[in-house]
Amino acid sequence: MVITQLVPRKVLEGLRGIGLNLYERNIYAALLIKKVATASELSDLSGVPRARAYDVLESLEEKGLVVIQSGSPFKYVAVEPMEAFDRMRLNMLKNAEEAGKRLKELKTTEIMTDLTALYNKDLKVINPSDFSGVIKSEDKVNFHIRTMLGKTSKYAKILTTERGLENLTYHIKTLSKLRGAKVPVMVAAPITDRNRSIVAELAPYAEIRNIADLKRDYSRMHIYDGEHVLLGLTDEKMVEPTQDTLFWTKSEHMAQNLMEPVFDHLWKKGTPAGK
């Protein structure tokens, strides 16, 4: 009997959501059933090839989900799920902290200088259309927006939705730095009774205009320094956050000649927030 017949699909999907691959979640689920078992027993129950079972169990042990009993043969003990997830979370936090520290240190070394030189070499001969891509999921979209805002030195023009306006509150710290550097941030969005508190939160860091009276739902368009453009490809109200999708391109032509005239037109039609 395969593991998918013994364990609800939602359980296996939940294990996938915390980063376990197919073999890892099948082996771990099998071990939860057996409590204590050998690699061959877990291989038979989970459907994971025996040759891979040892590597998978070692990976689960490193994550804190499994304890190995020495002996011949080795036996593997399932860690109680609540404790296992706490261990896994602490390991993730520790690894992330260490990785972040290494990355921060790397930025100040000659290695970063060499990496930057590699990137800049022959950069001018690259077709501008190659600097583009699709960004999927709200988390990745917000991360990209934070990156773009962090690099902005001249201005940011943002056409957004009610939900997009709310998401801008995640970037208050970055927006505050732009205000300190006297970099103008212009935001055109529909303002309603539902989001006036959000507008008040953002008002110290950006000039906001209300386009609700234009009687039309606009998507999202971000323009940074007349160089980078983000365009919303999905209706946030119709898709799950994981399906939210934006298109990004680095193109002065698209930013300045195509998108900015659209933004400027809507900006002139909007009314200052608070009026």
pLDDT for 131 beyond 60: no
Say if residue 34's pLDDT is above 70.
yes
Three-state secondary-structure class, residue 35: coil
Coil vs helix vs strand at 133: strand
CATH T-level topology, domain 3-83: Arc Repressor Mutant, subunit A (1.10.10)
Whether residue 194 has pLDDT greater than 90: no
Residue keyed to tokens 């386009």 = 211
Residue 186 banded pLDDT, cuts 50, 70, 90: very high
What's the pLDDT band for 127 if we cut at 50, 70, 90?
Answer: low
User: In sequence order, which ranges of 39-195 are alpha helices (DSSP H)?
Assistant: 39-46, 50-63, 81-106, 110-120, 138-151, 162-167, 172-180
User: Which three-class secondary structure string do you get for 66-100?
Assistant: EEEECCCCCEEEECCHHHHHHHHHHHHHHHHHHHH
Main-chain phi, psi angles of 135, to 5 degrees = -110, 125
- pLDDT > 70: what percent of the chain? 94
Query: What is the tens place of the pLDDT at every residue in 58-77?
Result: 999 988 899 988 778 889 99
- CA dist list (Å): 88 to 34, 39, 54, 94, 225: 21, 21, 19, 10, 42
Check residue 1 and give its pLDDT: 52
Mean pLDDT across 238-264: 90
- Structurally, what CATH architecture does the domain formed by 129-272 represent? 2-Layer Sandwich (3.30)
Q: Where are the domains of the chain?
A: 3-83, 129-272
* pLDDT mean over 136-159: 93
